[in-house]
Amino acid sequence: MADEEEDRRLMALVADGDDDALRLLVHRHHGRLVGYLRSEVGSQATAEELAMEVFIRLHRAAGRWRPDAKLSTYLIHIARNLVLNEWRRRSRKPTSALESAPEPGDSAPESGRRVLELEEAFARAVAQLPEEQRTAILLLVQQEMPYEEIATAMGCPVSSVKTWIHRARCRLKELMSDFYGPET
Amino acid sequence: MERRPAEHFDRDLSAALVRGRSVSVPGLADRTVSAVRADRLRRTVIRWGSGLSAAAACLVAVLVLGDPSEESLIVEARSVVAAEESAQFQELLSLADDLALLKPVIERPALVDDLAGGGS
């Protein structure tokens, strides 16, 4: 709650043209924003570019912003719209979400290599999901957002979010079936 | 690769995704503030540009609408011509008036003279 109040205070300052307040806001929120964007677009450079664009748009809207939702949710909402625009521009989906994932080296211990291999496989599988399912599962599992906030960020009912997440889990289990034994 | 128990699926998914949850980018805040300043300047220039364009359009409109229209020019030209024509007519008419003062010179026919002489 204190975080939200601080966000509101900073947003009011940003609306008055305070660049230091904007710098603070970027410090507070850019990490998770870039993490989410990188998982969506599969590129660190594009994720950083989009994150900057998110904050530029936030700055433009600062005067009109009303704290109906958490600022982090609003940022994800802007980010998702930019991701959709980016895909429309490229007319293709991200080829891989693994650009920055470390390669399993020979010197890594066997257990470490297995973990990395599994993580890479998960990232590939998530990248293959349909857009709504991928966004919903990323926001739930990676960003640990509650269903209501995901619905707000995605501009849809909570029931749709639950459906997408259920389908995403089922699809991921299919895609990862080589790694897991049968369910008991 | 040895298969993992299916019960580990959710835990593994969470572990795989949470690893990329937050990515700190040094200098992003400064870059963002620079980009915001550039954006602010660009929008200011655009706002001024559109304001000046609107003012120029208003000026042109005032000049165009303030000028006499084609029709009014025609009317004015006609009135000038009419005034000119009326002056010429006036001259002509005044000349006619002058002429009217002159008595007509009519030669009396010889028959009239004979009759007048015979009668006297």
Q: What is the ipTM score, two decimals?
A: 0.80
Q: Is A45 on the interface with B (CB under 8 A)?
A: no
Report d(CA A9, CA A55) in Å as an integer: 16
- Judging contacts by C-beta atoms under 8 Å, the chain A residues touching residue B16 are 118-119, 122-123
Chain B CB contacts of A59 below 8 Å: 36, 39-40
Written as six digits, the tokens of A96 are: 């891989």
CATH class of A105-184: mainly alpha
From residue B53, alpha-carbon distances to B40, B42, B44, B59, B65 in Å are 20, 16, 14, 10, 18
Q: What percent of chain A has pLDDT over 70?
A: 88
Q: What confidence score (pLDDT) does residue B7 get?
A: 87
Name the CA dihedral angle for A11, A17, A21, A25, rounded to a multiple of 10 degrees: 50
- In the predicted structure, residue A98 carries a pLDDT above the cut 50: no
The pTM of this model reads: 0.71
Task: Provide CATH code, domain A1-100.
Answer: 1.10.1740.10
Residue B80 has pLDDT above 70, yes or no: yes
Q: How far is A31 from chain B (nearest CA, A)?
A: 5
Question: 């066997």: which residue's tokens?
Answer: A110
CB contact under 8 A, A180 and B18: no
Cα separation of A129 and A131, whole Å? Answer: 6
Nearest residue of A to residue B16, measured between CA atoms: A119
Residue type, A183: E
- Segment A42-46 shows an average pLDDT of 92
Kindly state the DSSP code that residue B6 receives in the 8-state scheme: G
**A97-111, B67-81, B100-114: which is most confident:** B67-81
Band of the pLDDT at B113, cuts 50, 70, 90? Answer: confident
Give the B-side interface with A, CB within 8 Å.
Answer: 1, 3-10, 12-25, 28-33, 35-37, 39-40
> Does A153 score more than 90 pLDDT?
yes
Domain ranges of chain A: 1-100, 105-184
* pLDDT above 80: residue A24: yes
A23/B5 CB distance under 8 A? no
Cβ of B13 and A122 within 8 Å? yes
Hey, which residues 101-160 in chain A have their CB within 8 Å of chain B? 114, 117-119, 122-123, 126, 137-138, 141-144
What does the alpha-carbon distance between residue A19 and residue A17 come to, in Å, rounded to a whole number?
6
